[in-house]
Amino acid sequence: MKIIPPLTALRCFEAVARLGGVTPAARELHVTHSAVSQQIKVLEESMGVALFVREARGLRLTEEGRLYALDIRAALRDLTHATRRAQARPQESELVISTLPSFAQHWLMPRLASFREAHPYYRVRLLTNLQIEDFRQSTSDIGIRMGQGHWPDVAQQKLFDDEMVVVAAPHFALGPNGRLPQSTADVLACPLISSPDAPWSEWCRAAQIGEPAAEAMVLSANDSNIVIGAVLLGQGVALERRSLVAHALARGDLVQITEIRVPYRYPYWLVWQQREFLNAKQAHFAQWIDAQVDAYLRAARN
């Protein structure tokens, strides 16, 4: 097997090929002109391939050199990304949790202080994203996802099922009488704030009423943080996950309109990179969130 050419020679070659000359490459790499020229010579001799044609005006890539430059540029980029990922990987004192922005804001954050009290030696870093994270390329220790489960290449543990309830701000006023909506008919007379995950048709079937008119949907957003923010501002009512509004309901920042609720189709899951055993950080967080889920579900049943 041939030895891989020296990295210094490859970096010099890529810079010359990209910048079109030895002088700009030497300037970018902060080395001398002769040093770059020497590395190009070392590379060509080690490979036994002419990468450049020497002309009066300088160097011109051969076809082999042009193709090789493209491959080397991609390889150097991969090395850079790999190094950055390694540098970004959490230390033993840092716990990195990935989850949805709405779940982080409304369910996890109000409870997270108790985890830090129980495990003060961890620094917690939250990574939020609406997209599903690839744990093979991730720096996260553990994640919380919403879905049907059965994701490839991750271990998973179901946390809980959710349900949808209709909520409004206490100061929201329906009609000229300035009162909160109370009945199911009142709900459909309100400006409705929705998200792609809000099953209004299912709620209407449970309430045994017709579906809302299209013009009733005054605002739609793909992030429940936006939906809840609009409701808190008194801009309408929304069908939202109980997990996201439970604290606001308990504080009186939101009120639930009617007792009618419908199941939410996606449970929450704790996920982590597939391996036989949890490490200490993952195990500590898994034990903590199991207890938090138990307490949340007990409170929801009361």
Q: Is the pTM of this model over 0.75?
A: no
Q: Are residue 183 and residue 40 in the same domain, yes or no?
A: no
Q: Is residue 2 part of a domain?
A: no
The range of the structural domain enclosing residue 245 comes to: 163-263
Among 35, 66, 88, give the residue marking a domain's end.
88
Q: Is residue 1 part of a domain?
A: no
Compute the distance between CA of residue 206 and CA of residue 201 in angstroms, rounded to an integer. 9
Compute the distance between CA of residue 48 and CA of residue 53 in angstroms, rounded to an integer. 14
pLDDT for res 84: 65
Contact at 8 Å (CB) between 181 and 287? Answer: no
List per-residue pLDDT tens for the chain, 302 residues long: 457 888 999 999 999 999 988 999 989 888 899 999 999 998 888 888 899 988 888 888 999 989 999 999 999 888 887 776 665 555 668 899 999 999 999 999 999 999 999 999 899 999 998 887 777 667 789 999 999 888 887 889 999 999 999 999 999 987 656 788 888 989 998 999 988 888 888 999 999 999 888 888 899 998 999 999 999 999 999 999 999 999 999 999 999 999 999 999 999 999 988 775 678 888 999 999 999 999 999 988 87
Q: Are residue 242 and residue 274 in the same domain, yes or no?
A: no
Q: Are residue 276 and residue 218 in the same domain, yes or no?
A: no
Q: Are residue 272 and residue 158 in the same domain, yes or no?
A: yes
Q: Are residue 68 and residue 98 in the same domain, yes or no?
A: no
Q: Are residue 77 and residue 30 in the same domain, yes or no?
A: yes
Residues 6+ apart with CB under 8 A from 114: 288, 292
Compute the distance between CA of residue 240 and CA of residue 243 in angstroms, rounded to an integer. 9
Side chain identity, residue 61: L
pLDDT for res 279: 82
Q: Are residue 172 and residue 239 in the same domain, yes or no?
A: yes
Total domains in the fold of the chain: 3
Q: Are residue 153 and residue 279 in the same domain, yes or no?
A: yes
Q: Are residue 124 and residue 244 in the same domain, yes or no?
A: no
The CATH number that applies at residue 290 is 3.40.190.10
